Structure 1
Amino acid sequence: MQNLNPQRKAFLDMVAWSEGTDNGRQKTRNHGYDVIVGGELFTDYSDHPRKLVTLNPKLKSTAAGRYQLLSRWWDSYRKQLGLKDFSPKS
């Protein structure tokens, strides 16, 4: 998280904590950047994992990463921001 002032870093840390990806209870090898909704971990950062997880009969999600980004938004963000992959640096 280079070029972030302390307030922005704190805000992003709060988002990760509230999403449950980097709160000390969720298993992670990379501060939550490797978490798929529901708690599974992934290792391939070449693209969004795009895994549809059924959380209950009425709720399915593709949320992934430290900030639990949905796959339906990832392609737009990737294009607009010129991101090469789904890695923490991106």
Structure 2
Amino acid sequence: MADSSPERPQADKDDVLELNNDLEKMTECVENMSVQLTWMAYDLVALRTSPELGALLRGLEEAYHRCRAAVCGDRSQEPELEDRAQI
């Protein structure tokens, strides 16, 4: 009985070290998958978003500002609109 007692803490220490190594490997794998998924999502958005869409949205925003200025008066009378455009 006295022989098994000193070996047990060593066996537990080895098990803990092995568990830590396994957890580190799993964490690294999950991090790699996360990076790959992020790049896939980025590529998907980049491929599906056409450059024309951005130009059309900017044109639409400019048209909105012109219409707003025509309806509400001169832009200098609406500092709130200028503040939003800078954000």
Q: Same fold (TM over 0.5)?
A: no
Q: Which has the higher strand share?
A: 1
From the CA coordinates, give the structure whose radius of gyration is larger.
2
> Which has the higher relative contact order, 1 or 2, with Cα contacts under 8 A spaced 6 or more apart?
1
* TM-score class normalised by the smaller sequence: under 0.3
